[in-house]
Amino acid sequence: MSTNSQNGDGTAAAGGANAQNAAPGMNILGQYVKDFSFENPNAPRSLAPRETSPSINIQVNVNANPLSDNEFEVSLVMNAKGGTDDDLMFNVELTYCGVFRIQNVPQEHLHPFVLIECPRMLFPFARQIVAEAVRAGGFPPLMIDPIDFAALYQHNAAKNAGGEGAAPTPNA
């Protein structure tokens, strides 16, 4: 028994196939460390036991550059500093990138899709690189909490729009 139906002219109906072809999709074509730095400027003094825990400051940003109509390089930029006001223990800077092919996403949803879903895919790898670098620097691994990239996108869109409600372009 065949499940394909035919139109009156003898061609196969493609309703199910078109629905599948039109589904939004994302492929990761590659991912890589674009820029990386680890500093332990006060070693070995910074490795000595301390009475108080150091403060940790983590900053995260996302950028995207279109490579073609449906391919984007997305950069997850992470900076983590640990120490006290007068004693920097470590400074990690990482730009971790991926090249993504995005298909069948409506133009009005493309910008948030690229700046939310793509960094969400990159984050676990970038997090591991930062944790291992801090551990290799002589400190306990820095395990960065999960990031809500949708909230980060909304915050940056509101800041860039100046309260007008417009979202920045994908290469912003």
Give me the pLDDT at residue 169, please: 42
Q: Does 105 score more than 80 pLDDT? A: yes
Per the structure block, which two tokens stand in for 114? 């690229």
Q: Does 167 score more than 80 pLDDT? A: no
Percent of the chain predicted with pLDDT > 90: 59
Q: Does 156 score more than 90 pLDDT? A: no
pLDDT in tens, 33-92: 999 999 998 888 888 888 888 899 999 999 999 999 999 999 999 999 998 767 889 999
Per the structure block, which two tokens stand in for 96? 């971790």
Q: How far apart are CA 29 and CA 99, in angstroms?
A: 5
Q: List domains and CATH numbers for the chain.
A: 23-161 (3.10.420.10)
Give me the pLDDT at residue 19, please: 46
Percent of the chain predicted with pLDDT > 70: 81
